[in-house]
Structure 1
């Protein structure tokens, strides 16, 4: 498949839609533009089981690949406690419910605006 550039906002929408499709809980999208050089957006969500966490990550990966996007890396699929997906301009954090509560990474990015409409 030919890889192509996908606008960050479109990639964000794709990641959120994939998470929603697999019933991810408490999906939050943060706008990091002007705050961090890491990425333009973070998507943070959680699943209630290891299988659900893996399912959410698999769906997002499928959608990104089908659109021709480059997936730079995926970490944590084996343990499915915190899956980190690097889609370039969008970083997706998929937690198991317990880990999300423990790490609470949203509090680290309080300067970031929550994206209300994805």
Structure 2
């Protein structure tokens, strides 16, 4: 976890700076080969979703972490950023509960975002 701690913190702080909310970090390393973590947040509208995604890409690039793949920029209702070690899911508030990734990946381990200095509000 220590190896990825700075990366996760960078992602969460980028989300927080753009006023995303309702953060979840799920360690899926023991149940999937997709990634080690899912990082999930909500936004209020499409423009905010794009701003959050752009901020994450910018901040991660500054610490030398390259984006592998991105999806969802067309509709901006569910933007996915794949960094290999983690997949970031930026959901429009109305879409998040439709897909309910937290329930789908409930066998993973929830990580308290407050350990990263982020206050989690819903």
Normalization by structure 2: what TM-score?
0.87
1:82 aligns with 2:72: no
Q: 1:62 aligns with which of 44, 48, 58?
A: 58
Q: 2:102 aligns with which of 103, 106, 118?
A: 106
Shift of 1:89: 0.1
Where does the alignment leave 5 or more consecutive residues of structure 2 unmatched?
117-122
Q: 2:5 aligns with which of 5, 9, 16?
A: 9
Where does the alignment leave 5 or more consecutive residues of structure 1 unmatched?
1-6
Secondary structure of 1:88 counterpart: coil
| Aligned residue pairs, count | 112
Query: Per-residue CA shift, 1:39-84, capped at 9, x if unaligned?
Result: 1111011100001111110100001111111110111112100000
C-alpha separation in 2, matches of 1:87 and 1:33: 14
Query: Per-residue CA shift, 1:68-107, capped at 9, x if unaligned?
Result: 1111011111210000000110110001111101111110
Over aligned residue pairs, what C-alpha RMSD do you find? 1.0
Asked if the contact 1:8/1:90 (under 8 Å) is kept, the reply is: no
Shift of 1:13: 1.2
Superposed structure 1 runs of 4+ greater than 6 Å apart: none
